[in-house]
């Protein structure tokens, strides 16, 4: 079978690319290994305002899957506690399986050949494109969009450079309302508890860790007990997470890597939904241009676009991360003492200010905050 475009993986990245390809007149194949939606994807389901806004732009009904709007974070380091409050929403909370099912159902399915329950295995070079081999068939495609997440086989086959960290997540039946983030004991990561109404999604992520320790589950249980989240655990699992990289490696001839498959995750917070959606829409725009002009350089311009959109930001995220995690105790002390620093942290965590800008502002505020009585 021959296609103009194949999209592998129908999480936020793949579905967003398809949304932009709707009505393009291109012959598009979409392959997803899950056999139906909703399907499980380990994720806390938190949307920063910028993630919510881009989803709203392409999927206007997204409010139907927003379970909570949060404008207060409770942060911990050991027994020390800081409360961040903001005038507007800091995070929109969704359940990932509901969000992904909503995104998938928002597509106009008649525009694509959608194959659920089929897994992409490998790619080979073809004369003017690639051959995609799956568990069911082989397809000749001019452009392949790989959106198959952190475990992407094709990203591994083609040696896409990514840094992988680890997480462990659980669902606890509990109706607590607070969003909690606890940095105690992490080298570069945190514990989270995201309330969703009848359930709280809790998890731990050590984004720069090279290996999973068997005790992650026990560590998560200890945090859950510390924060009084002791209800029935209905689900738990470990899962890798790509945590940014120094250079975005997201292109091979005729193949574009989107979202987690391309390692596009904020290296400090682990936020990935925004980057999945943004890279999906950018990739699909590039693909439309390629079919209009026939110029191969349009496809390779994807990597340049991703670098200029995220390269600088990810670089500064690593700088801010280094400053924060290496001097965690001091930074927490400053955060508790200074309203300005607390406000700046709220703005940073909600994506309202860039890492670079916040770094500069923080250095200006720090002496005053330390000297304040
Ligand atoms: C525990 C945890 C918590 C997180 N919390 C947050 C959060 O609160 N907010 C946030 O913004 N980000 C969070 N992230 C990151 C976020 O989940 C990802 O960055 C995001 O899901 C990336 O979207 P994606 O579309 O690239 O990939 P995915 O969402 O992983 O989608 C990939 C799709 O491809 C399919 N697939 C995989 N392999 C194949 C194959 N070979 N063939 C066909 N289909 C395939 C999968 O079934 C899946 O549907 C979290 C990650 C983890 C692990």
One domain for residues 147 and 121? yes
187 to each of 61, 183, 301, how far by Cα in Å?
A: 39, 9, 36
* Closest atom of ligand 1 relative to the 194 alpha carbon: 8
341 alpha-carbon distance from chain centroid: 26
CA–centroid distance, 40 to ligand 1, in Å, is 10
* Closest atom of ligand 1 relative to the 241 alpha carbon: 53
Instruction: Report d(CA 307, CA 312) in Å as an integer.
Output: 7
Q: What is the pLDDT along the chain (373 residues), one digit of tens a residue?
A: 999 999 999 999 999 999 999 999 999 999 999 999 999 999 999 999 999 999 999 999 999 999 999 999 999 999 999 999 988 999 999 999 999 999 999 999 999 999 999 999 999 999 999 999 999 999 999 999 999 999 999 999 999 999 889 999 999 999 999 999 999 999 999 999 999 999 999 999 998 876 666 688 999 999 999 999 989 999 999 999 998 666 789 999 999 999 999 999 999 999 999 999 999 999 999 999 999 999 999 999 999 999 999 999 999 999 999 999 999 999 899 988 899 999 999 888 888 899 999 999 999 998 888 776 5
Which pLDDT score, from 0 to 100, does residue 69 have? 97
Which pLDDT score, from 0 to 100, does residue 248 have? 81
One domain for residues 104 and 249? yes
One domain for residues 351 and 286? no
User: Is the dihedral angle over the CA atoms 284, 286, 291, 292 positive or is it negative?
Assistant: positive
CA–centroid distance, 187 to ligand 1, in Å, is 24
Contact between 248 and 264 (Cβ < 8 Å): yes
Instruction: Report d(CA 323, CA 82) in Å as an integer.
Output: 18
Of 189, 219, 242, the residue at which a domain comes to its end is 242
Q: Is residue 310 part of a domain?
A: yes
Q: Is residue 209 part of a domain?
A: yes
* Closest atom of ligand 1 relative to the 42 alpha carbon: 1
Q: What CATH number did the domain enclosing 205 receive?
A: 3.30.9.10
Instruction: Report d(CA 260, CA 11) in Å as an integer.
Output: 10
Q: Is residue 355 part of a domain?
A: yes
Pairing relation of β-strands 2-8 and 28-32?
A: parallel
Read out DSSP for 7-32? EE--SHHHHHHHHHHTTS---EEEEE
Q: Is residue 193 part of a domain?
A: yes
Of 211, 242, 273, the residue at which a domain comes to its end is 242
One domain for residues 148 and 113? yes
One domain for residues 39 and 109? yes
- For 27, phi and psi rounded to 5 degrees? -85, 110
Q: Is residue 74 part of a domain?
A: no
Of 207, 242, 277, the residue at which a domain comes to its end is 242
Residue with tokens 């943004």: 278
Pairing relation of β-strands 189-195 and 255-257?
A: unpaired
Q: Is residue 79 part of a domain?
A: no
One domain for residues 308 and 344? no
One domain for residues 159 and 177? no
Residue with tokens 């009848």: 198
User: Is the dihedral angle over the CA atoms 129, 131, 136, 137 positive or is it negative?
Assistant: positive
CA–centroid distance, 116 to ligand 1, in Å, is 16
Q: CB burial class (10 A; 0-12, 13-18, 19+) of residue 225? A: exposed
Which of these, 306, 313, 309, 366, lies nearest to 340 by C-alpha position?
366
One domain for residues 308 and 327? no
One domain for residues 137 and 224? no
Q: Is residue 252 part of a domain?
A: yes
Ligand 1, residues at Cβ distance < 6 Å: 8-14, 31-34, 41-46, 51, 119-120, 147-149, 151, 153, 167, 169, 203, 239, 241, 259-261, 265, 270-274, 276
CA–centroid distance, 102 to ligand 1, in Å, is 15
Q: Is residue 78 part of a domain?
A: no
Which of these, 207, 206, 199, lies nearest to 235 by C-alpha position?
199
One domain for residues 328 and 266? no
One domain for residues 255 and 131? yes
Q: State the virtual CA torsion across 24, 27, 33, 35 in degrees, nearest 10.
A: 90
Neighbours of 94 (CB within 10 A): 28
Where in the sequence is the domain holding 346, given as residue range(s)? 323-371
Q: Report, in this order, helix, strand and coil percent for the chain, each rounded to 5.
A: 40, 25, 35
* Closest atom of ligand 1 relative to the 34 alpha carbon: 47
Contact between 4 and 28 (Cβ < 8 Å): yes
One domain for residues 113 and 191? no
Count of domains observed in the chain: 3
CA–centroid distance, 149 to ligand 1, in Å, is 5
List all residues 6 or more positions away from 339 whose beta carbon is below 8 Å from its beta carbon.
none
Ligand 1: residue whose CA is nearest its atom 52: 43
CA–centroid distance, 218 to ligand 1, in Å, is 24
Q: What CATH number did the domain enclosing 111 receive?
A: 3.50.50.60
Instruction: Report d(CA 236, CA 197) in Å as an integer.
Output: 18
């Amino acid at each position: 079978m021959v296609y103009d475009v194949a999209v592998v993986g129908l999480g936020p990245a793949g579905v967003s690319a398809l949304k932009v390809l709707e009505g393009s007149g291109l012959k598009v194949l979409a392959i997803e290994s899950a056999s139906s939606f909703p399907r499980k994807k380990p994720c806390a389901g938190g949307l920063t305002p910028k993630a919510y806004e881009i989803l709203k732009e392409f999927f206007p009904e997204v409010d139907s899957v927003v379970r909570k709007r949060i404008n207060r974070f409770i942060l911990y380091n050991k027994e020390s506690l800081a409360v961040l409050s903001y005038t507007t929403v800091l995070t929109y909370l969704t359940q990932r399986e509901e969000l992904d099912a909503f995104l998938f159902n928002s597509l106009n399915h008649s525009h694509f050949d959608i194959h659920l329950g089929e897994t992409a295995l490998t790619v080979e070079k073809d004369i003017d494109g690639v051959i995609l081999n799956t568990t069911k068939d082989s397809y000749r495609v001019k452009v392949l969009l790989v959106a198959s997440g952190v475990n992407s086989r094709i990203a591994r086959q083609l040696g896409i450079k990514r840094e992988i960290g680890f997480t462990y997540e659980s669902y606890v039946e509990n109706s607590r309302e607070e969003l909690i983030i606890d940095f105690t004991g992490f080298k570069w990561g945190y514990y989270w508890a995201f309330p969703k109404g009848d359930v709280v999604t809790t998890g731990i992520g050590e984004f720069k860790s090279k290996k999973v320790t068997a005790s992650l589950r026990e560590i998560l249980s200890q945090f859950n007990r510390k924060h009084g989240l002791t209800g029935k655990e209905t689900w738990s699992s470990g899962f890798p997470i790509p945590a940014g990289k120094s250079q975005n490696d997201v292109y091979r001839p005729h193949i574009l890597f989107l979202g987690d498959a391309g390692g596009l995750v904020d290296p400090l917070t682990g936020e990935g939904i925004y980057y999945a959606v943004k890279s999906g829409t950018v990739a699909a725009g590039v693909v439309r241009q390629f079919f209009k002009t026939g110029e191969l350089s349009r496809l390779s311009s994807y990597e340049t676009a991703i670098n200029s959109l995220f390269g600088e930001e990810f670089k500064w995220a690593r700088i801010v991360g280094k400053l924060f995690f290496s001097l965690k105790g001091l930074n927490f002390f400053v955060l508790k003492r200074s309203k300005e620093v607390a406000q700046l942290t709220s703005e940073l965590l909600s994506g309202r200010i860039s890492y670079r800008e916040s770094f500069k502002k923080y250095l200006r505020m720090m002496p005053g905050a330390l000297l304040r009585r």
